[in-house]
Structure 1
Amino acid sequence: MFLFLSALLLGSCQGSGLQNWFAADPNAEQWAGNPPPATPPSAPTTTLPANLRFPDAILVSTQPQAGAPQTTETRWQVRAPAIAIQQFYTRQFQESGWQLVEQQVADNTVSLKGRNSELEVHVTINTVPENNLTTFTVAYTPLTAAPPPPQSHTTSPQTFTDLEDTPAPLQPAVRDLAELGVLSTPGDRLQPNTPISRGQFVRWLVTTYNRFYSDRPARQIRLGNRNDTPVFQDVPPDHPDFPYIQGLAMAGFLPSPLSGEGGAFFRPEAPLTRETLLQWKVPLDQRGRLSPSTIDRIQQTWGFKDSQRIAPPAINAVAADYLAGDLSNIRRVWGETRLLQPQKPVTRAEAAAALWYIGNGTEGLSAAMVKQLPPSAS
């Protein structure tokens, strides 16, 4: 990662005087001396660890970060090059107890983000000095103040004011899931025809699955803990969907670096596609047992005219979904169709319809079944 960012910065700054910005700084040890005079800080920084204070940097200001009062933003100046500051914080975030979770280069700035069990620290360095001084900010947020992970399911039935906007064939499924209280949304609107994000779908999937098996702890997905090392770089512990995404990835049902089947980024805000819904849900329907399959097999069973457009990671799941017959996700959500449209975004109503039943066709549970169970069994 570090070498990649170095090449990126050098390539974008030819002739700017920053060509050697990421090169090793032979004078890095001497930047601790002779700081310029400055006004004493107006507020103490006792909550920022001493090892995260650049040597002899002068604190210019301390204030709550705009829009995030729980975050303290400190502004510093020092008579040292930006590369020395960047190397310093890279080393600190790679030491025991810290994790370097992000490093980015933009126009005239470099930013780093580090995290341990107590703090998240974001360093932003201005690479253009002023009066031989380099300015940088260190913003830190206590993680101990973060709320505890949400419970795996709620028990309060939900009422949506826009339920009638749901396509008629999908309304019964949405009503059943709403009665179970598993479709978490802000306010009382479902927005059934709006594409669902990848992060929100995982939240619904894990919540629904655990609600169905609330009387069988051995079958439930364990939620991620905020002290876990994040599986995905773009889903930190303070992300609202972290417990669900982290938990499903750690259980091996999401392609991730842990399983060796996915990259370091999850893209939680991106729209969920049809093939991805199947790729994530069908392994839970089949309890992880998916046989290797091919596009030819899908064409022989489903007969999709666009089978060739299915991404390779989703092929086994699409093929296995056929085994559930009329209870398959594809038939229940999209009906009789000769086109899968694998990259088409999934709406919230369609996502709910897919979650209405979890099982392989011969063994499984539906939301209608679960809501009829006595409280002690659900």
Structure 2
Amino acid sequence: MLPCKNPAVFLSLAVLLSSLTACANSPVAKNLEQSVAADPQLQTNPVVFGEAKDNQLQAQQNQSTVKLPADFPQDIPLYPNAKLEEVTPTSGTENRVSTRWLSSDPSNFIADFYRNQLQANNWQILQKPTDDVGGVFEAQRNDLLVKVSVQAQSVTNPTPNQPQTATQLLIEYSPSSTTTAQPTPTTNPRETTNAQTTNEVPQPGDSEFIGPLLPQNVATQPGTTSESPSAATPTVASQEFNDLNKAPQELRQHIQDLATLGVLSTESQVTKSNSNSTTNQFTPSKTITRREYARWLVAANNAMNVNNPAKQIRLASETAQPAFSDVSAKDPDFPEIQGLAEAGLIPSSLSGDTTAVLFRPDAPLTREQLVLWKLPLDTRQALPAANLDAVKQTWGFQDAGKIDPKALRAVLADYQNGEQSNIRRVFGYTTLFQPKKPVTRAEAAAALWYFGTQGEGISAVDALKLKRPQT
């Protein structure tokens, strides 16, 4: 038993307890009981000490004080899981508005969202990312021009509402009241108008397209008027590049002719001195991808056979069963790639090649693939039988044994075209074919400059004469 060191303390407690017991029903006792009772709200809403303040701070952070402009176009799709961070009007005379968003979702999710939304809502896509991770979209609908930049980024000081990794989304647009149907080179030299003929940029999956069909990334030459010409005087959707001096001298005229015909895509780059100024770059030495060559191949063939629909390649509809598992109907280049497969111009399961289940659209195009896809459109008949010895005797290639057996027939048939052969026109005299070597954009353009055999064919120059208005 503990010794009593403070008798006075125990005596005071005893007096207090006896008083409370005696006056349990008095008003003083009631007030004392209520003052020391637990908060009844804590019984239904238990909160850990210190957590209430944290929740309040987080709620304040979730409430963004930034608001969209009152004239923000309703046609521009907004990613649902993105928070508006900043709205910045662009200085100068262009009257463009830039909005910055932040999302915790991966950049490839957001890129897929805008790729599908822009295509599904009949936007004219002027530029799209080169990969599936992110990049820049440029699109136009009526007189509204929008630029969407999807960029993955790391957050230096993460907060409860901002994880360590995030995606920054920039949406820049020109209000409808300030854009015109005729763009100037300083706003966007790649912008086109809707009041043009069917010889210009088609939208993938549109059932109203009737050839000739050109690719999505067709750029009009600055200064092109937006007046709708008559069917008898089609407008040439020419392109203007400022880096053709970087292309090999022998190929420059071929590139220029196809650019004037309007079948090549550009590489739009933003200048460092002016973030709002873009320049059209052809980048002739850049490797061309399989999807881009497929798009050019269809566009060039249809443009050169503008008056002969029987020789045009039909674009596939979005309801077609995909021939390749990695090119879905939602892919922006599906109409061209699927159209080539359905025409039997590229190896696929439709042509009996059970091993060609993947198209690999973003893989580099090789020399043997360039010839294999192009020759059927030159000869317009079955390719001749070929073997390794025949190719060695004709071309004299030292590396003929490295050519894929499926491409041997096309290489041999190309030799029979004499000076109009694709190999001679593109690569000049060579005893090494290097079949697996990637093809540059300049080389691909040179191959598409002429369709047909020696003495019977059509060049880009001939096609331009058919497209120019008659005075």
TM range (shorter): 0.5 to 0.7
The one of 326, 329, 341 aligned to 2:434? 341
Which of residues 209, 217, 221 is equivalent to 2:301? 209
Please tell me whether residue 178 in structure 1 is matched to residue 259 in structure 2.
yes
- Asked if residue 269 in structure 1 is aligned to residue 327 in structure 2, the reply is no
Could you give the per-residue CA deviations for residues 307-330 of structure 1, whole angstroms, max 9, x where no partner exists? 111111100000000000011000
Partner of 2:237: 156
Shift of 1:376: 7.3
Question: Which residue number corresponds to residue 313 of structure 1?
Answer: 406
| CA deviation map 1:164-213 (0-9, x unaligned) | 11111100100000000000234321111011001100100010000000
Cα RMSD over matched residues? 2.4
- The residue type equivalent to 2:288 in the other structure is I
Give the structure 2 partner of residue 6 of structure 1: none
TM-superposed CA distance for 1:238, in Å, is 1.7
Cα drift, residue 229 of structure 1:
1.1
Distance across 2 between alignment mates of 1:71 and 1:175? 30
Which residue number corresponds to residue 130 of structure 2? none
Instruction: State the Cα deviation string for residues 35-69 of structure 1 (Å, max 9, x = none).
Output: xxxxxxxxxxxxxxxxxxxxxxxxxxx95875155
Which amino acid in 1 is paired with 2:457? G
Q: 1: CA distance between counterparts of 2:467 and 2:258?
A: 16
Code of the residue aligned with 1:209 in structure 2: it is N
Which residue type is aligned with residue 148 of structure 1?
A: D
Quote the offset at 1:373 in angstroms: 2.4
Task: Name the structure 2 match of 1:248.
Answer: 340
Gaps of 5+ in 2: 1-79, 83-104, 117-202, 219-235, 269-279
Distance across 1 between alignment mates of 2:395 and 2:435:
13
| Counterpart Cα distance in 2 of 1:210 and 1:200 | 16
Aligned mate of 2:352, from 255, 260, 264? 260
Asked if the contact 2:422–2:447 (Cα under 8 Å) also holds between the matched residues in 1, the reply is: yes
CA deviations 1:56-112 (Å, max 9, x no partner) are xxxxxx95875155699xxxxxxxxxxxxxxxxxxxxxxxxxxxxxxxxxxxxxxxx
Q: Distance in 2 between matches of 1:148 and 1:163?
A: 33
Deviations 1:144-182 (A, max 9, x none): x98737871264100012111111110010000000000
The C-alpha deviation readout for 1:282-334, integer Å capped at 9, x for no partner, is 11111132111111001111001111111111000000000000110000001
Distance 1:343 1:225 in 2: 32
Structure 1 residue matching 2:417: 3-state secondary structure: helix
Instruction: Give 1:241 shift.
Output: 1.3
Give the TM-score of the pair, scaled to structure 1.
Answer: 0.61
- For structure 1, the 5+ residue unaligned runs are 1-61, 73-144
Q: Identify if the C-alpha distance between structure 1 residues 376 and 287 changes in structure 2 by more than 3 Å, giving closer, same or farther.
A: farther
Query: Could you tell me which residue of structure 2 aligns to residue 231 of structure 1?
Result: 323
Conservation of the 8 A alpha-carbon contact between 2:204 and 2:333: no
The CA deviation at 1:355 is: 0.4
Q: Higher mean Cα deviation, 150-159 or 228-237?
A: 150-159
What is the total number of aligned residue pairs between the two structures? 244
* Percentage of matched positions with identical amino acids: 46
Query: Distance between the aligned counterparts of 1:71 and 1:322, measured in 2?
Result: 42
**CA distance in 1: counterparts of 2:255 and 2:370, whole angstroms:** 17
Distance 1:342 1:359, change over 3 A: same
SS in 1 for 2:458: strand
TM-score by length of 2: 0.49
Mapped to 2, the partners of 1:281 and 1:373 lie a distance apart of 22
Q: Is the 8 A contact 2:204 2:335 kept in 1?
A: no
- What is the alpha-carbon distance in structure 1 between the residues aligned to residue 330 and residue 266 of structure 2? 18
How many angstroms apart in 2 are the aligned matches of 1:69 and 1:195?
28
Q: Cα distance 1:308–1:70, how it changes in 2: closer, same or farther (>3 A)?
A: closer
User: Cα 1:69–1:319, aligned 2, differ >3 Å: closer, same or farther?
Assistant: closer
